[in-house]
């Protein structure tokens, strides 16, 4: 697992005005890293994470995954990258409202391997939901869950396809401290035992300090706070 961002810029155009949400970011991410990104709201963290996750095309610059520019892949290959290599934990509520927790977690399996793999993945889905602390909510619909519980289901979902890299956008934003710590322990364990790479956006500087490398976004630019 090796990701290289070179000179990545994402601009939005509001009328004639150009606004760089992410500006000239170059970054190298290695296997088994645990990276945190801090920064003010609006500094471009979500945009950067989305660019790495293959869900927002940069205006310029390249994102290489294992040496290949993911945005030069055709649509289906890019989908496969999202599906198989990354696990995205969105900042926003992202569960499908008419699916149960279990079905929501299994959705990426459906996209990866189709119907046949579902039965085999059921046990794993239940385990992940259990680890995320919502093991008793398998058959609950999102509307029957609290915001924090929904977030945990989304976290479980990010791990179902054994991603190489988990992109977590303020994953513990609406969780209490105890749960936050619990989730962090889970992340750490996945990082150490399964070798999953983590890039996590957080406002909690304590959590950030506890990671291998701490980056800071400011007005679209990135700087190193701690680490290499």
Ligand X SMILES: Nc1ncnc2c1ncn2[C@@H]1O[C@H](COP(=O)(O)OP(=O)(O)O)[C@@H](O)[C@H]1O
Query: Would you list the DSSP string of 16-80?
Result: TEEEEEEEEEEEEEETT-EEEEEE-TTSSHHHHHHHHTTSS--SEEEEEETTEEGGGS-HHHHHH
Residue 12 is a binding residue for ligand X (CB under 6 A): yes
123 binds, among ligand X, another protein, Mg ion, none (CB under 5 to 8 A by kind): none
CA distance 163 to 85: 5
Residues in 86-145 at the binding interface with another protein, rule: CB under 8 A: 88, 90, 92, 94, 96-99, 102-103, 106-108, 110-112, 114-115, 118, 122
**Would you give the distance in Å from CA 17 to the centre of its chain?**
30
* Exposed / middle / buried, residue 94 (Cβ in 10 Å: 0-12, 13-18, 19+): middle
Report the residue count for the chain.
228
CA distance 3 to 163: 14
Residue 44 is a binding residue for ligand X (CB under 6 A): yes
Judged by CB under 6 A, which stretch of 40-48, 79-87, 137-145, 189-197 contacts ligand X?
40-48
Residue 190 is a binding residue for ligand X (CB under 6 A): no
Residue 178 is a binding residue for ligand X (CB under 6 A): no
Residue 203 is a binding residue for another protein (CB under 8 A): no
228 binds, among another protein, Mg ion, ligand X, none (CB under 5 to 8 A by kind): none
Residue 79 is a binding residue for another protein (CB under 8 A): yes
Coil/strand/helix, residue 167: strand
- Residues of the shown chain interacting with ligand X in the complex, contacts defined by CB under 6 A: 12, 14, 19, 21, 39, 41-47, 217
- Residues of the shown chain interacting with Mg ion in the complex, contacts defined by CB under 5 A: 46, 91
């Amino acid at each position: 697992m090796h990701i290289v961002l070179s000179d990545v810029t994402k601009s939005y155009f509001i009328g004639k005005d150009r606004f760089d949400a992410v500006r000239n970011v170059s970054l190298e991410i290695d296997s088994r890293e645990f990276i945190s990104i801090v920064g003010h709201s609006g500094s471009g963290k979500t945009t950067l994470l989305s660019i790495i996750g293959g869900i927002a095309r940069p205006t310029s610059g390249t994102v290489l995954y294992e040496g290949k520019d993911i945005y030069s892949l055709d649509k289906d290959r890019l989908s496969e990258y999202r599906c198989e290599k990354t696990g995205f934990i969105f900042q926003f509520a992202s569960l499908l409202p008419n699916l149960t927790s279990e079905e929501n977690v299994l959705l990426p399996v459906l996209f990866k391997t189709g119907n046949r793999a579902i039965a085999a993945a059921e046990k794993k889905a239940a385990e992940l939901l259990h680890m995320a602390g919502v093991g008793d909510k398998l058959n609950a619909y999102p509307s029957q869950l609290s915001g924090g519980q929904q977030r945990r289901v989304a976290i479980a979902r990010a791990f179902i396809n054994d991603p190489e890299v988990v992109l977590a956008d303020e994953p513990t934003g609406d969780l209490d401290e105890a749960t936050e710590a619990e989730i962090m322990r889970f992340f750490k364990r996945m990082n150490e035992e399964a070798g999953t790479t983590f890039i996590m956006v957080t406002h909690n500087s304590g959590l950030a300090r506890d990671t291998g490398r701490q980056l800071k976004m400011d007005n679209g630019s990135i700087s190193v706070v701690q680490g290499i």
